[in-house]
Amino acid sequence: MKVYLDNAATTPLAQEVLEVMLPFFNEKFGNPSSIHQYGREAKAAIEKARKNIAQMLNAAPAEICFTSGGTESANMILQGAVYNLGVKRIITSPIEHHCVLHSAQSLSEKVRIEYVELDEKGNMRYEHLEKLLADDTHKTLVCLMHANNEIGNITDIERVGALCSKFNAYFFSDTVQTVAHYPLDLQKIKVDFITGSAHKFHGPKGTGFVYMRSGILLKPILQGGSQERNLRAGTENITGIIGMEKAMSLCYSNLNEDMDYIQGLKSYLLQSIKTIMPDVAVNGNDKTESLYTVLNLTFPPKEHAEFLIYNLDMNGIAASTGSACSSGSDAGSHVLKALKIPADIGSVRFSFSRYNTIAELELVTEKIKEMFSVKVE
């Protein structure tokens, strides 16, 4: 049996999503910018998807711009904030996704970058954020993710949004791990930008979006045609957009049931592993204020613990040490480093979806038991 527990990296495409995408590969293949019936048909499908996605987020269709995913979206926001909105300071945290951290660092000659302090569990210190915001009158962009992709910590973005509003700062929240996994009411949250990526919720890879609050207009980072209201040049990925809307719709139509089921999987695996290895530690928050889809564990420093991911893979179990975007880097997880967790011990991120089962988790527990030669009395 193969077990896939790396859903924070990417999720399998839902069959229902594939079915709605297929016609746009062959029958409805028109270019949305063409004025004939093939083009009009494609354009109408894109605008219907935009309207439906906006409705699910309680936003206006004009506030949704389709992109290739989270990385392009974050770059568009940060570069636009600096070059178009006059931002002179970026406040972020040391555990943001690299698409935010590296994008911010690339702008360091143009802006000052400041980092919010974290507690020992990796939670942002809100009082420090307020102090940073109050200490400077320069136009500021706050970049704080809704939920961390490695340890699962959830930030109170309503609270952050209120602070940003109080000090007239722009607020961008990377919601790639929470779009379609949590309800997001963008009329209630004082956020100026959010991002989404379809492959995180059983949609296709290479498709995402930026939400940009009405009244804010960024210049494109891709030059060319006038697609996406002059915000993102290039022929639209119509199959991806159609698939993303369907995947998002499926998730939100079954949200409460899926949340309860996946939280049950996470709790079951944690309890099962702790039964055989009580000294396993949870990285980040335990149950409250944590993504129900992510469980990051540090195993006791026993022989060969650092090869745990490799051994899991050899047994048909897919998990990870952190962000897939850092694969190939020998620097280790910047998130665990920020939490002062040593890089040379066995830390594993298990991440779940509605397609996982208890039987799979029983197998995972049994394999871990064998790897560590645990004897249960």
User: What integer pLDDT is reported at residue 345 of this predicted model?
Assistant: 67
pLDDT tens for 53-63 read 999 999 999 99
pLDDT tens for 34-75 read 899 999 999 999 999 999 999 999 999 999 999 999 999 999
Q: Which residues are catalytic?
A: 325
pLDDT tens for 186-198 read 999 999 999 999 9
pLDDT tens for 234-264 read 989 999 999 999 999 999 999 999 999 999 9
Per-residue pLDDT of the chain (377 residues; tens, 9 = 90+): 899 999 999 999 999 999 999 999 999 999 898 899 999 999 999 999 999 999 999 999 999 999 999 999 999 999 999 999 999 999 999 999 999 999 999 999 999 999 999 999 999 999 999 999 998 788 999 999 999 999 999 999 999 999 999 999 999 999 999 999 999 999 999 999 999 999 999 999 999 999 999 999 888 888 888 888 878 889 899 999 999 999 999 999 999 999 999 999 999 999 999 999 999 999 999 877 899 999 999 988 765 555 788 889 999 999 998 655 555 455 678 999 998 887 656 789 999 999 999 999 999 999 999 888 755 54
User: What integer pLDDT is reported at residue 225 of this predicted model?
Assistant: 86
Task: Give the chain as a 3 state SS string.
Answer: CCEECECCCCCCCCHHHHHHHCHHHHCCCCCCCCCCHHHHHHHHHHHHHHHHHHHHHCCCHHHEEEECCHHHHHHHHHHHHHHCCCCCEEEECCCCCHHHHHHHHHCCCCCEEEECCECCCCCECHHHHHHHHHCCCCCEEEECCCECCCCCEECCHHHHHHHHHHCCCEEEECCCCCECCECCCCCCCCCCEEEEEHHHHCCCCCCEEEEECCCCCCCCCCCCCCHHHHCCCCCCCHHHHHHHHHHHHHHHHCHHHHHHHHHHHHHHHHHHHHHHCCCCEECCCCCCCECCCEEEEECCCCCCHHHHHHHHHHCCEECECCCHHHCCCCCCCHHHHHCCCCCCCCEEEEECCCCCCHHHHHHHHHHHHHHCCCCCC
